[in-house]
Amino acid sequence: MGKTFICTLAAVVCAVFSASSQSAVDDFADTMATSHKIVYIDGRPADASTQAYVDSVRRVISTFYYDQFRHFQDPEAPYFLFMSKDAQLAMGIGGAVRMRGYYDWGGAMPSPGFAPYLIPMNPDPTAMRHFDTTPAGTCLFFRVLGRNKTLGNYQLYIEANFNGYKTRDFHLKKAYAVINDFTVGYAPSTFSDPAAIAPTVDAQGPNNKISPTAVLVRYMPVIRDKWVLAVSAETPDHSVAVDNEHTASVEKWIPDFAAFVQYQWARGQHVRLSGIVRTLSYRDLDEGANRNVAGWGVQLSSVAHPLYPLTTYVTVNYGHGYAGLGGDLLIGKYDLVGNPDRPGRLYAPRSFGWSVGVQYNFRPNLFATVVASRTRYLPTGQVDPTEYKTGIFAAANVFWYLTPRMSLGAEFDWGMRRNFSGEHRAARRVGAVCQFSF
């Protein structure tokens, strides 16, 4: 674990000091910023064809692509954009139609998302191979960007995805308002850094990915264009392993608190240190008392362009009782687990994860990515030999944007699960995706 952390930290430092200010990713974002149709709300302005006005419009649209919490799989800026004459108000309604197909062999994984945690140790002979398709990720969204004399800069955002029951139910993914430095609503956690996660065809992505969405209040000022600070109070969602014989769940009663400090040297490039503290509660039925355990996590993350065609992605996370915030361990209940020496007591186990990805753009609209990640579960007490100990994920893919609004992708995924008994097993998948944005 120590060597991995040092190597990953070195990669972050190298990314910081060798980054290029302009990249193929930036050039593609600039291309996307021009692939839209503007409908003027109160009439076309007389200077709409001037370079100054065009630049002001592009600055508005660039907000979609340089959001602090934008992930590669998030939808593009809307094709149709309603805008005021003075370019101080923009409203977009857009979405994406996304279709994925995948094929497993040598023992199928029982999920559309490729997660090493789910690799079957003793695969069913009737499910050794599996082919399936899913429209999961198809979405609709509504966004307003504006400036008001009283409120200053503001934006509203609502997104809903077809990711529910059998990947076809429509459910809310995000809904928040941003007013200057404040964010209020259902938004990505301050502890997450979606921009530092390498692109994948598979929706699950690296198995250490921190990706919670919560109702929150966040304050996030930018200092001299280089430093970004953030602090938030977030509605908790805890994964506690109670047995209802010696331990039981209790109601949530205090928010999670998250914060980060970030240094950014160019648009879309940064290094960030994030942290979260949590109060994890349960009831000790043996002694008839409610108990609270402190959980916490830290994450170091970065995205950078050391060369024009090259992008690097790095995340390293560690803590006690933060497993329910994403990655492999989110599938189980690992925020609090049982103490084998005291049946009525629970404790917050340690876990550790890292991910490294490299993207190479052959052209701004054609690129390949290689990504590897690992998650390690580190309990202090004795566990069942069949318990998950570590998972490894690796993927190689290629994405091609035939037009700014239509893309194709193909990927090979490999994963391995190892239990505390030493038993381990690998899984393989090939997948493809076709997406059209509007």
Residue 70 pLDDT grade (very low, low, confident, very high; cuts 50, 70, 90): confident
* C-beta separation of 176 from 157 below 8 A: yes
* Residue range 114-143, pLDDT digits in tens: 999 999 988 888 888 999 988 888 999 988
Q: How large is the average pLDDT for residues 191-219?
A: 93
pLDDT at 15: 44
What are the pLDDT digits (tens) for 4-47? 544 544 444 444 444 446 788 878 777 776 777 777 777 777 66
As given in the structure block, the two tokens for residue 196 are 């530092």
**Region 58-70: what's the mean pLDDT?**
72
**pLDDT score of 164 more than 60:** no
**What's the whole-number average pLDDT of the chain?**
87
Q: What is the pLDDT of residue 18?
A: 44
In terms of residues, how long is the chain?
Answer: 438
**What pLDDT, on a 0 to 100 scale, did the predictor assign at position 28?**
78
Q: Around 215, how many Cα atoms within 13 Å sit in the side-chain half-sphere?
A: 4
CB-neighbour burial class of residue 296 (10 A; exposed 0-12, middle 13-18, buried 19+): middle
pLDDT at residue 296, as a whole number: 96
Statement: residue 409 has pLDDT above 60: yes
In terms of Cα–Cα distance, which of 104, 106, 129, 125 is closest to 114? Answer: 104
* Residue 402: pLDDT over 50: yes
- pLDDT one-digit tens code per residue, 166-181: 566 778 899 999 999 9
Q: What is the pTM of this model?
A: 0.89
Least confident range from 42-46, 313-317, 325-329: namely 42-46
CB 109 within 8 A of CB 323: no
